[in-house]
Each structure stands twice: as C-alpha cells, then as structure tokens.
Amino acid sequence: MSQADCGQVPEVEQLKLARTPLESSEATEDAEADTAWEQEIERRIQMIDAGLAKGRRFADVLRDIDHQLAGWSSSCLARSSGSLPSP
C-alpha cells in the first residue's frame, strides 16, 4: 500500500497495519539473528540489573508508537486530501 492509498483506510486500521510488522518481526527462522537478539537481551538485562538503564512498560512503548504513527497517518490523510504539499 502506498502513502497515496492510506487515505482509503480508516486511521485505526492504519495503526493496526503499521504495528503488524513490528510485532511479527520477532518470529524469525534466522539462527544468527536469534543469537544476536539473545545477546542483546542479555546485555540489556545486565544494564538494568547494574542500574545503568531503566525499562519501560511495553504498553507505554506501544502507546508512543501509536502516537507517532497517528501523526504520520494524519499527515498522510492531509496530503491525500490536498491540504499539505507533497514532498
């Protein structure tokens, strides 16, 4: 789907579609990628345990992503209606 087509899909559905690749990207058959992610997760756990980093609730992260995507969605809708100049 192109940005030009996004005005034909309700905003809520656009947000769901945008989140799908993020959520499904965790499912991989790439052993090298899986190993790299396991190492990264372990590194992050160690940073949190050492007090060098703070975690965030997953729901808060998703809310922030939805908020950012809603901004993109709004600009896409405005562009498709002719309110904003095309880049």
* pLDDT for res 27: 62
Q: Which residue has the higher pLDDT, 39 or 25?
A: 39
* pLDDT for res 52: 94
Q: Can you tell me the distance from the alpha carbon of 19 to that of 9, in angstroms, rounded to the nearest whole number?
A: 15
Mean pLDDT over 51-74 rounds to 87
Provide the token pair at 44. 């992050």
Rounded (5°) CA angle 16-21-71: 50
Residue 49's alpha-carbon distances to 39, 42, 46, 86, in angstroms, are: 15, 10, 5, 47
Cβ 80 vs Cβ 6: under 8 Å: yes
Q: What percent of the chain has pLDDT over 70?
A: 66
Query: 0.75 exceeded by the pTM?
Result: no
pLDDT bin (cut points 50, 70, 90) of residue 59 is: very high
